[in-house]
Amino acid sequence: MATTTAKKPKAPKKKATAPAPAPALTNASLIKRRDAAVARGVASAAPVYAARAENSELWDVEGNRFIDFAGGIAVLNTGHRHPKVIEAAKAQEDLYTHTSFQVVPYEPYVALAEKLNALAPGDFPKKSLLVTTGAEAVENAVKIARAHTGRPGVIAFTAGYHGRTLLTLGLTGKVSPYKKDVGPFPADIFRVPFPSTRDQITVDDSLRALEMLFLTDAQPDRVAAIILEPVLGEGGYHPVPAELFQALRAVCDKHGILLISDEVQAGFGRTGTWFAIEHSGVVPDLITVAKSMAGGYPLAGVIGRADVMDALDPGGLGGTYGGNPVACAAALAAIEALESENLLARSTALGEVFRARLSDMGARVAPYRMWDIRGLGAMLAVEFVTDFETTTPDAAFTKAVISHALKRGLILLSCGMHGNAVRIMVPLTASDAIIDEGLSIFEAALADAIADENNA
């Protein structure tokens, strides 16, 4: 007898459900995630998280707009996402992004080296090395100097900043926060006091200290190089007096020592010239570069006399990522923008505007608190003190000005041995209207900080 099997009823189809939307990003949520995931030693000046940026403006993840007077620590002389830089980088990305120049070389590296050699001061043959960071550039400059001279010693200056690797920290003349708890540092590094009005150190004092150093600790024929930033960066935006650079050039020539100009922060138009040492008329043997060279892409280098740069055998210089092709393409475009848009002259003009406006607001809003306005071109700093009589550095007041500025939509950074100076690193491409708006916010923040003190 045949039997039949009853068919099971089909299960009803489940309705498709849309995935739950990702929670909206907020500054507070990102701060919490950062605290759990990022090493504590990596500090951030502003408690806001970037979502997008254009030229001299930035918007955070909550849609708040900011005027950027920090420029990624002087990296964005050509502004955020300069069209020429972005176009060049994208075009290079369509071809190749990495081969390692030491394995399969490429034309953008060579083209950029040619351009750097042409831009650097000095009527002699030059060659360049490309690396990735400013500290790496300084490390290689010292290595090249030692190989060329056969000497170990390096002389740096107080308040100078040269990087966070162990060798460059040895050269850096500021303990907190950079050198704190991470010594010992390499040997054969010596230090000379930098001229300082505050500390009543003159150029003659610095030169006498150098001569004393030669007598007591640094035998001159064992010194490979003297390294100095033409405008101190972290040290407070103090320009090197031209007479000091001229005297150092003479000392180096007398003793066969190489002069290294660390232009990582001051180079590529920041001071109104391609390299800040040009203001002194002195030609260095080696120049270290990074930051604004590539319009926001990680790239650094050493430019120098060809005979000095060729001191090491093949394989003695390099790095897996050194001279990345995308960064090289971006750098060539950034340099072209600096040239075609007359941004060196723009830097000089902006410097005059900033000096006049800052001086005026200091006199009106915060009398006897702006002790100094200094720098070269658009590389300027304002130093704050408790009063003009004692000229005591006022880091707390400086911090308050920066905090109030951020609340009002302006990004600022401090600098200086005592943390009591505000430095200006606005993109040179910023419009006059943006500059005016930013300075107006700065003035309002200054008034806010004064009001805090009066109400305390």
Phi then psi dihedrals of residue 192, to 5 deg: -120, 140
Which of 308, 340, 372 finishes a domain? 340
When mean pLDDT is compared across 194-198, 245-249, 263-267, 335-339, the lowest value belongs to 194-198
Quickly tell me which residue has 């071109």 as its tokens: 377
Specify which residues 328 forms β-bridges with: none
In 3D space, the residue among 182, 147, 150, 149 whose CA is nearest the CA of residue 167 turns out to be: 182
Co-location of 331 and 200 in the same domain: yes
Which two tokens mark 154? 């390096």
Domain count for the chain: 2
- Domain CATH number, residue 383: 3.90.1150.10
Beta sheet of 65-68, edge-to-edge order: 50-54, 57-60, 65-68, 410-411
Residue 275 placed within a domain: yes
Residue 38 lies in a domain: no
Residue 81 has pLDDT above 90, yes or no: yes
Q: Is the pLDDT of residue 14 over 70?
A: no
pLDDT at 2: 46
Whether residue 142 is found in the same domain as residue 157 = yes
The verdict on 352 and 295 lying in the same domain is no
Whether the model pTM is above 0.85: yes
Pair (154, 111) in one structural domain: yes
Q: Using one digit for the tens of pLDDT, what is the confidence trace for 300-309?
A: 999 999 999 9
**What's 203's domain CATH number?**
3.40.640.10
**What pLDDT is attached to residue 1?**
44
Residue whose tokens read 């090249």: 144
The range of the structural domain enclosing residue 128 comes to 83-340
Q: What is the mean pLDDT of the chain?
A: 95
Same domain, 245 and 369: no
Last residue of a domain, one of 340, 365, 383: 340
What average pLDDT does the segment 75-83 reach? Answer: 98
Residues 295 and 154 in one domain: yes
Residue where a domain terminates, one of 288, 312, 340:
340
Angle, helix 203-216 to helix 242-255, in steps of 10 degrees: 20
Note whether residue 209 is domain-resident.
yes
Per DSSP, the residues of 100-117 read: -TTTS--HHHHHHHHHHH
Average pLDDT for residues 245-251, to the nearest whole number? 98
Residues 133 and 153: their CA atoms lie apart, in Å, by: 23
pLDDT of residue 198: 87
Give CA angle at 138 (132, 142), nearest 5°: 130
Q: Does residue 75 lie within any of the structural domains?
A: no
Residue-level pLDDT at 12: 59
The reply to whether 87 and 202 lie within a common domain is: yes
Q: What is the CA radius of gyration of the chain?
A: 26
